[in-house]
Amino acid sequence: MLTYILRRTLMMIPVVLVISVIVFWIIQLPPGDYVSSHVMELQKEGEQLSAAEQDALRERYGLDQPWYAQYLAWIWGILTRGDLGYSFAYSQPVLAVVERYMATTLIVAVASMVFTYVVAIPIGVYSAVKQYSVGDYVFTTVGFLGMATPNFLLAIILMYLSYIWFGNPMLGLQSPEYAAQGWSPARVLDMLRHLVIPVVVIGTASTCELIRVMRGQMLDEMTKQHVLTARAKGVKESTNLRKYSLRAALNPIVSTIGWSLTAIFTGSTITAIVLNLPTQGPVMLDALMAQDMYLAGAWLGFMAILTVIGTLISDILLAWLDPRIRDERRARA
């Protein structure tokens, strides 16, 4: 198993490198570059930049070089100095921008995931065990509504309700008065309260999806022959449910944890804009639109690594959970 993990980790390196090339190439694909989009911005505000000034800017940022030369310089910087490049829009090193948003992004993403699993799995199991009961129908209906409601709409509704009920739409991730303070219990509490709406909004669609998957999985597992075998041995229904059906039904869900994390990462941009969340989604969008290429590249590269690691984690979990897969791996190793 250890050798397997080691081998997979080594294999990640070329994969991530290839992805970074593709990502970089795609980012510079649209016509123009940061300077030209910057000039357009300035023009809107009535300012002009002469052609000479533009060229000077290009030279300073290295934008006059072909894209692969830019890419090589960038990746060389990352590998040798850990330098992710420079964000034109923020006039800061990319690393500083990333650092600022990383923690909140992770908090929102992980909290949404936990919400999804904690809510969806029990409901899915309940719906399967009590198939066609009133509760099952209610959850199914709510589930379809949840999947069909666009996130931004849900966000606006919740903000509105929060405003009506608590006099505060709960924008952002913390109240302004805490922004300058150090961490205190009150600040943590404030943040948790602010997390509710984003987590519900971001988590609802995947929760509803997961309820359906879980219900289907459970129904499938509960009618398996080996469950009947266990019942015929005199095993209690509750034991049967937990030991055989639930355990087996969770397998495919566990195995997708890895990349559902990235999905939540990327899927929440619009929500983050609507709710004014200090997370990476809006920053990323701006960077792409402004062709702030190193910032965009760094983030997309980070996502790629996350996806690859997520897949690895899933694979490890799956092998840990399922002896058949474990043996298959061992045979190939």
Partner 1 sequence: MTTTPEDTTPPAHLVLTVEDLAVHVPTEHGLLRAVDGVSFEVRAGRTLGIVGESGSGKSLTAKSLLRLHPAAFRESGRVLLHGADGSGADGTDALDIMELRRDGPMIRAVRGRRIALIFQEPMTAFSPLHTIGDQIMEAILLHRTADRAEARDICLEWMLRVGIGDAQRRIDQYPHEFSGGMRQRAMIAMALSCEPEVLIADEPTTALDVTIQAQVLELMQELQAETGMAIVFITHDLAVVAGTCDEVAVMYLGRIVEQAPVRELFANPQHPYTRGLLRSIPRFGMGRDERLQAIEGTVPQAIDLPAMCSFRDRCGARIEGVCETAEPRLLELTDRHQVRCFLHDPDAPVPDQPVGSTESTASDPAHAPVVPEESPA
Of the candidates 60, 236, 242, 330, which one interacts with partner 1 according to CB under 8 A?
Answer: 236
Sign of the CA dihedral with 308 first, then 309, 315, and 318 last: negative
Which residues between 141 and 180 bind partner 1 (CB under 8 A)? none
Q: What token pair was written down for 40?
A: 């357009």
Q: For partner 1, which stretch binds (CB under 8 A), given 122-130, 183-191, 227-235, 309-317?
A: 227-235
Q: For partner 1, which stretch binds (CB under 8 A), given 164-172, 183-191, 275-283, 320-328?
A: 320-328
CA distances from 72 to 62, 76, 80, 92 (A): 12, 6, 12, 21
Secondary element (H or E) of residue 218 = helix 185-222
Contact call for residue 232 and partner 1 (CB under 8 A):
yes
Of the candidates 21, 147, 322, 329, which one interacts with partner 1 according to CB under 8 A?
Answer: 322
Q: Which is nearer to partner 1, 159 or 227 (CB)?
A: 227
Contact call for residue 220 and partner 1 (CB under 8 A):
no
Of the candidates 32, 56, 327, 330, which one interacts with partner 1 according to CB under 8 A?
Answer: 327
Contact call for residue 230 and partner 1 (CB under 8 A):
yes
Of the candidates 130, 226, 242, 330, which one interacts with partner 1 according to CB under 8 A?
Answer: 226
Of the candidates 59, 118, 237, 330, which one interacts with partner 1 according to CB under 8 A?
Answer: 237
User: To the nearest whole angstrom, how small is the minimum distance from the Cβ of residue 311 to partner 1?
Assistant: 22
User: To the nearest whole angstrom, how small is the minimum distance from the Cβ of residue 134 to partner 1?
Assistant: 17
Which bin fits 207, alpha (ψ -120 to 50), beta or left (φ > 0)?
A: alpha
Residues 6+ apart with CB under 8 A from 288: 27, 296
Q: For partner 1, which stretch binds (CB under 8 A), given 17-25, 151-159, 190-198, 323-331?
A: 323-331
User: Which amino acid does the sequence have at 17?
Assistant: L
Q: Which is nearer to partner 1, 55 or 237 (CB)?
A: 237
Residues 6+ apart with CB under 8 A from 279: 101, 104, 105, 108, 268, 272
Q: Which is nearer to partner 1, 128 or 264 (CB)?
A: 128
Contact call for residue 225 and partner 1 (CB under 8 A):
yes
Q: Which is nearer to partner 1, 128 or 309 (CB)?
A: 128
User: Which amino acid does the sequence have at 213?
Assistant: V
Taking CB atoms within 8 Å and a gap of at least 24, the contacts of 221-230 are 221/245, 221/246, 221/248, 221/249, 222/128, 222/129, 224/248
> First and final CA of the chain: distance in angstroms?
9
Contact call for residue 329 and partner 1 (CB under 8 A):
no
User: Which amino acid does the sequence have at 134?
Assistant: V
Taking a C-beta distance cutoff of 8 angstroms, is the pair 136, 227 a contact?
no
- Nearest CA to 311 out of 4, 7, 8 is that of 8
Of the candidates 142, 147, 200, 235, which one interacts with partner 1 according to CB under 8 A?
Answer: 235
Which residues between 240 and 259 bind partner 1 (CB under 8 A)? 243-244, 247-248, 251
Q: Which residues bind partner 1 (CB under 8 A)?
A: 224-237, 243-244, 247-248, 251, 321-324, 327
